[in-house]
Structure 1
Amino acid sequence: MVLKVGIIGAGGIAKDAHIPNYLKCGEKVEIVAISDVAIEKAEEVAKEFGIPHFFSSYEEMLEKVELDAVSVCTPNKFHYPATQAALNAGCHVLCEKPPAMTVKEAEAMAEAAEKAGKILTYGFHYRHAPQVEALKRFIDAGELGEIYAARVTAMRRRGIPGWGVFTNKELQGGGPLIDIGVHMLDTALYLMGYPEPDTVFGVTYQKLGNRKGVGLFGQWDWENYSIEDLARGMITFKNGASILLDTSFAANVEKHEEMNVALMGTEGGADVFPLKIYQEKHETLIDITPSYLPNKGYHELELARFVDACVQGTKPISTAIEGVYLQQIINGLYESAEKGEAVKIGGKVRV
């Protein structure tokens, strides 16, 4: 079976990650069409990669072209409607992170996938990192025991994106928390077995992004900056576990960028990036570091595994239900920061 794929959104993540890695799948995949509200951009990308059809709307694409699967590569605000349309058209969907703008949207997306009998998975490419895969094997073998605490770090010193719509709250839903923090948060939750969230307490700050400054990722539009610079939070779970989170686009810290997850369990702990495991064995405190890890691209593995799941009918590594839990946490942290108090977010997912 050749998987016929359509792309919704012709921006950087489509051009740099999705399309090139679909092409690496060889004869398993045919990229049939691409859509973008800026039709000239869709046409340009179509010509660059030899995609036969391009459209100004995904509705028209889904109506006129027969597709098996779709990548949703739009700004966050449009994840929900684009995913719903693709699922309703009978397509499997790989939607970029975060799942949506609200919990209700994420729930509706999961419900639509369940109803359609199609795969809905999300672009959490750090799950496919060799460090994460190796540590997951250790965890599954009981080497860390019960993981009851974690620390999530996604910090940039002056890493506000100077392109795209990343500083537009209306289109993105937020800043570093929903953009890069979500990656490390998902990684921690995945390694912890995705426990059901219970309560969150969050704070956000806008101190640096709304004034001109040094931009390590280009000069951002500081005069129209509507997101947070820094978000901090604590998440507790129904099983008693907890996570502390720090994420920023701009903060006065030493490192230009730090992305990491630290886990603490009853039989061991670990840092993920770089991978290091901490244990007590034979009356000795030991640190374990790998001498070799495979070096395959995260996005390459993500797209290859999505294709295999669609073709073989297997469960994807990231599920729609996990997307709902993650959305509960993200939106709960923003709500808590706005209210200035802890927010209860527990409750079974409506799917």
Structure 2
Amino acid sequence: MNSMKLGLVGIGKIARDQHVPALARSIDFDLCAAASRHNRLEGVDHYPNVEEMLAARPELDAVSLCTPPDGRYEQAAAVLRAGKHLMLEKPPAATVSEIEALALMAAASGVTLCATWHSREAAEVDAARDWLAGKRIAAVRIRWKEDIRQWHPGQDWILAAGGFGVFDPGINALSIATQILPDPLVVTGAVLSVPTNRVSPIAASIALRTGDAPVAAEFDFLQTGQQSWDIEVDTDAGVLRLRDGGSRLELPDAAPLAGPNEEYARLYRRFAELVRAGESDVDLRPLQLVADAFLVGERRVVEPFDF
């Protein structure tokens, strides 16, 4: 089957680090156009915004949006109105209501909408889910701590309204937890630490439950030195440890498992499968948990933060 012509919107760090290399190796998609206000990709036709890209390139089959969530709704709606299949970088939208509206729009237009959660595609997430199936969960601990200056240098938008703050990486942990745990997650409380000169939290502690088991999640954007992207699950068969963002799995009485980083290659393969099957994939659970944390969270003001 011929590859599909794809336009990439938003040429920032995540696009350059992950999307462009994955597309370069893809047999499903041909990256033939890009839209960005500030950046360009060498060898790819460039447009200042998604509307001009769509108008100039009607032959596009699909679009991948890598822009920040705030303001993405209008871009996504333009793509769907043009009848193009759409893939969304996480988080899929700034609000739950936005992505629900986009899902309805995609269905009405007869095109595929794929809301991606790249951390679910980490090498050992599926194996962790399979091992936990049928086991009794006693407790879960999530530690997602990284250095904002290393991973989001100078990106002020991430701490602005609609930028999600520490939930931008934290939602990756929630996307894995909702994938591997047998029972749904429910938020019971949260503490959100917001710098005096910012709007979104730079750290957060969230209390949740899954079944009758407590879940404690700690998110921190000020972690220096060794970074932590770990989930531990106490079960009646021992402790499961999923480390390094889902790429390393430690099980009781077994050698550790570790696979290669192919998250974005898997995302684009999944997107192609959905397009060819005429289906969409819009799982809102991680975004709903973040929204719930904001709803019930206690806001604490902390010292100012500057890059």
Task: Normalising by structure 2, report the TM-score.
Answer: 0.83
Q: 1:200 aligns with which of 154, 177, 188?
A: 188
Give CA-to-partner distance per residue, 1:133-175, whole Å, 9 cap, x none.
Answer: 32233345x4xx2446422211136756322334441351x31
Identical counterparts, % of pairs: 25
1:57 is matched with which residue?
Answer: 49
Task: Work out whether 1:276 is the aligned partner of 2:264.
Answer: no
Aligned length: 293
Q: How far apart are the structure 1 equivalents of 2:127 and 2:90?
A: 23
1:257 is matched with which residue?
Answer: 227
1:25-36 residue pairs with structure 2 within 5 A? Answer: 25-26=26-27, 28-36=28-36
In structure 2, give the amino acid aligned to 1:176: V
2:291 is matched with which residue?
Answer: 331
Q: Secondary structure at the match of 1:130?
A: coil
Q: Secondary structure at the match of 2:230?
A: strand
Contact 1:149 1:264 in 2 (8 A): yes
Q: 2:153 aligns with which of 135, 157, 162?
A: 162
Q: How far apart are the structure 2 equivalents of 1:243 and 1:107?
A: 27
Alignment RMSD, CA only?
2.8
Q: How far apart are the structure 2 equivalents of 1:257 and 1:99?
A: 25
Q: Secondary structure at the match of 1:152?
A: strand
Q: 1:130 aligns with which of 113, 120, 123?
A: 123
Q: How far off its partner does 1:333 sit?
A: 0.8
Contact 1:167 1:226 in 2 (8 A): no
Alignment gaps of 5+ in structure 2: 301-307
1:12 is matched with which residue?
Answer: 13
Contact 1:6 1:32 in 2 (8 A): yes
Q: How far apart are the structure 1 equivalents of 2:69 and 2:117?
A: 14
1:346 is matched with which residue?
Answer: none
1:221 is matched with which residue?
Answer: none
Give CA-to-partner distance per residue, 1:235-281, whole Å, 9 cap, x none.
Answer: 235x5555321101115xx8531001122344454111131123xxx
2:176 is matched with which residue?
Answer: 187
1:44-123 residue pairs with structure 2 within 5 A? Answer: 44-45=40-41, 48=42, 50-51=43-44, 53-65=45-57, 66-123=59-116
Give CA-to-partner distance per residue, 1:17-42, whole Å, 9 cap, x none.
Answer: 1122111014x32112111233xx2x
Give CA-to-partner distance per residue, 1:105-160, whole Å, 9 cap, x none.
Answer: 122122223333333223422211112132233345x4xx2446422211136756
Q: Secondary structure at the match of 1:272?
A: strand
Q: Secondary structure at the match of 1:67?
A: coil
Contact 2:193 2:299 in 1 (8 A): no
Task: Normalising by structure 1, report the TM-score.
Answer: 0.74
Q: How far off its partner does 1:10 sit?
A: 1.5
Alignment gaps of 5+ in structure 1: 211-223, 279-286, 341-351
